Structure 1
């Protein structure tokens, strides 16, 4: 491991439910010291390099632990391979001997959720293994028609049809056309006026990351990553491996229209009604209900986002003797609804809410 390829990004952890003595505050013990992101950066990592750098991190830099972050196309050994886990277990043993702790980073590169496709070796491990659970996008297909005719067009088969709505362009009256679909075809006698007919479809985006709104996707990702570490060296969890850390999931991907096929079902289960007539508000002014419609849809999206990966990670971590921490991208945006959901909701499930501060 070449020294000039070693970088750190500080991750400072605040221990919950503990207190320090004045002496510990003046000269902190290891448990209170920062744990940097230890980039295994674009090079072949060796036991000799680990011995040298981990000892220096402890004795020269004064860190209390590290969070290993594999990075770069030339990183070796291959991510999630037996050789990779052997090296990670070796590092855990060395950390234990030095009295240091590890924070389990969940990705190869970042953001968390793809398994190496971004900032790694370009292999979309999650997408390859769980294609149905990868990121989805909400698309709109529309056309305008005049009244007095019969609208006869096929419903989109590009993905899961979430809603079909006709809206009078002048009065903003909206009509749910879901019950006008027969054998995949929309048939509707158009009333007088000029009408915008809109289909809203949840489609595969092609982004290699997991569906950030799906608990099933979150559980699958944990199976692919976290569980593999625990299966191989459970003896270090709760003692040496004391935290988990995720990095930069966000909702600005998929053209800013991250969605999930189960959205309507979740909406009905929580609110007892259908969101079908609210979908146009994501693109247009629909009249007096515009703000309420957007609030309802974005509130649920924020809840689903928070309850998928952050909550899944938190529960897994607690069950394996670790605290859950991490951060998401775009924390600095004044109104994060469109890109990060609701920061407080996202962080409410973490033991140690994080924030990225670089520079």
Structure 2
């Protein structure tokens, strides 16, 4: 471990400031960025007068990059005029309306006696894509069971469907329309442009043609010299985003060829079961899991991998961040399978909007960290954008930014592109008058050095953790149905449970990682001498959130891990359904719906207990390293290994400095590496060390 490199961190570890517009004297701003301690910038061509369609903009962009290159400054290329990435400032859909984002919805008719049904497409929709009718079993009170294996196709045109219906028959008509109203497109601070279909390979190719290719044509070395490309919140537009609005159409993601792709992927036709995407309870779970997993694979292939391959071909890496990373509900609604999408990227990333530690979401980086661990990408990129509760943030902006950065690096961040800006106008009041921000030059230099030391210390460090929380994506996929209004994470039982588990761990200072089905199965396969491993970490605890459905191979692997001595904890209930198994329709009376899927505590292999009890049991487990503060629950600790040494990163989450007394099994002394000033000192076990508010220290053995 290099002490000099820690004291004077290289620019690659410092923050990159995000600049979307440059003055004509762009070299002056580049000088200011370097003088204020930054490692470089994330930037884009001028956005006015046609964006990348204007050669003058591209020529100026070339001059900007020349100024950065001449100063040996790193840069990222931001790939859009605003966000979400894909609309190309309106160019992507110009003369190509067929590439717009689409969704499909269901229209349901029921015949309680014979009748003739007529349906005509409305003026909001594009066309009818499927129609079928089914007999229904209505023999029991309060039930109308669709008999999916007796589907009868109904003739239709693009705009009209008409058929005769027998008693107790259901007719389902499915229609496609643009996904726009009420979406992320109409509720952002950038634009209200219509948007491409990220499921469509041709639409994404069009985005490349209008936003990437013009740059490389006019500035051939632009991408080759770039650290990475920054894509910003590309996403499906079928979910509604504003909780106060209700819309006429409940949309599922659509792209031409979707039905054929489903059958190719899973070996059965989706058509008989298409209503299950929109309705049904446990009997519909497997179809929905398959559907949303396929959506994730299509986005990963057609958006992320296509652009990533282009970037590699042109000498750089594809990165950026996606939308609403903090919840599984959003992972399904916006991507089908967020992890599938993120793993297709060259370097995963997130954004963080929390402006101070008290409101930091503990899972902001943790889901993306899972992709980084699987892909071995040496951490993730974070867009730092302190946006929430700016009034409080403004009281101590540098302190709070340092606190957020400490938590981010502990949770997997290794690179920062920042909207937390500096007052560059002080460098040149005449030329940079409009470039004002939160930090003075001195504050900016300090925060960049602090961030640089975090990055230098943790670069290529192995994150060692034995507690894993299960990434219960199949549970949320199974229960995701298109809605007429916004769907919140708080509506998802799995999300509520995961939040409770991880917040309890976070508040008590315990580290954790997420693990998915593949990790659990691999861990079971790694068992040797009653030890199991995930990505080089010995597995000690696996915590599963409240869920009703799980992959059978995950369950079987958990049984084997339990037999090998791994502690397996289920929070609140045991899953009683398995993905792939046909669930029989569960009869119930609507008055008893509140007790459906009630608490299931005991099973053959496992017992479920409240999440709080799980964390209490983990608290009682023996720890190799302990650090105590004046105030309880002040610190968060994570363990790393690097160059044959153990590193414990301890972050003070509070707004008060704390005196920390430490103990480490078999160790009498520790080196304390302080990222605030680059100092290194030796401290004996049991002696107190001061950790300032919202900062961290490295305990090195």
TM-score w.r.t. structure 1 length?
0.80
Where do 1:33-112 residues align within 5 Å? 33-40=14-21, 45-48=22-25, 50-60=26-36, 62-69=37-44, 76=48, 78-80=50-52, 81-112=54-85
Contact 2:197 2:236 in 1 (8 A): no
Aligned to 1:145: 111
- Corresponding position: 1:266 with 2:261: yes
- After superposition, the C-alpha distances for 1:36-75 in whole angstroms (9 at most, x for unaligned) are 32132xxxx4321x22211111122x2222111579xxx5
Contact 1:202 1:261 in 2 (8 A): no
Aligned to 1:315: 309
Aligned to 2:175: 201
Contact 1:162 1:276 in 2 (8 A): no
Aligned to 1:246: 231
Aligned to 2:283: 289
CA positional deviation for 1:115: 1.8
Contact 1:324 1:350 in 2 (8 A): yes
- Root-mean-square deviation (CA), in Å? 2.7
In the superposition, relative to structure 1, how do residues 66 and 177 fare at CA in structure 2: closer, same or farther (>3 Å)? farther
In the superposition, relative to structure 1, how do residues 337 and 25 fare at CA in structure 2: closer, same or farther (>3 Å)? same
Where do 1:149-168 residues align within 5 Å? 149=115, 151=117, 158-167=125-134, 168=136
- Corresponding position: 1:224 with 2:210: yes
The separation in 2 between residues aligned to 1:132 and 1:198, in whole angstroms, is: 25
Q: Which has the higher contact order (CA 8 A, sep 6+)?
A: 1
- Corresponding position: 1:213 with 2:213: no
Contact 2:229 2:318 in 1 (8 A): yes
CA positional deviation for 1:264: 0.9
Higher alpha-carbon deviation: 181-190 or 290-299 = 181-190
Contact 2:129 2:174 in 1 (8 A): yes
Q: How many residues align?
A: 320
Q: Gaps spanning 5+ residues in structure 2: where?
A: 137-142, 186-193, 241-250, 356-701
Contact 2:99 2:202 in 1 (8 A): yes
Contact 2:179 2:238 in 1 (8 A): no
- After superposition, the C-alpha distances for 1:281-334 in whole angstroms (9 at most, x for unaligned) are 22211x653111111111111211222211112111111110110111110124
Higher alpha-carbon deviation: 325-334 or 205-214 = 205-214
The separation in 2 between residues aligned to 1:252 and 1:187, in whole angstroms, is: 30
CA positional deviation for 1:189: 4.9
Aligned to 2:146: 172
Specify which of 82, 86, 91 is matched with residue 125 of structure 1.
91
In the superposition, relative to structure 1, how do residues 210 and 109 fare at CA in structure 2: closer, same or farther (>3 Å)? same
Where do 1:291-306 residues align within 5 Å? 291-306=285-300
Aligned to 1:234: 220
CA positional deviation for 1:109: 0.8
The separation in 2 between residues aligned to 1:36 and 1:177, in whole angstroms, is: 59
Higher alpha-carbon deviation: 323-332 or 137-146 = 137-146
- Corresponding position: 1:31 with 2:12: yes
Contact 2:198 2:204 in 1 (8 A): yes
Contact 1:164 1:200 in 2 (8 A): yes
CA positional deviation for 1:106: 0.9
- Corresponding position: 1:181 with 2:176: no
Specify which of 313, 320, 324 is matched with residue 330 of structure 1.
324
Structure ID, larger Rg: 2
Q: Gaps spanning 5+ residues in structure 1: where?
A: 1-19, 117-123
CA positional deviation for 1:78: 4.0
The separation in 1 between residues aligned to 2:32 and 2:156, in whole angstroms, is: 69
The separation in 1 between residues aligned to 2:335 and 2:102, in whole angstroms, is: 16
Secondary structure in 1 aligned to 2:93?
Answer: helix
Secondary structure in 2 aligned to 1:225?
Answer: helix
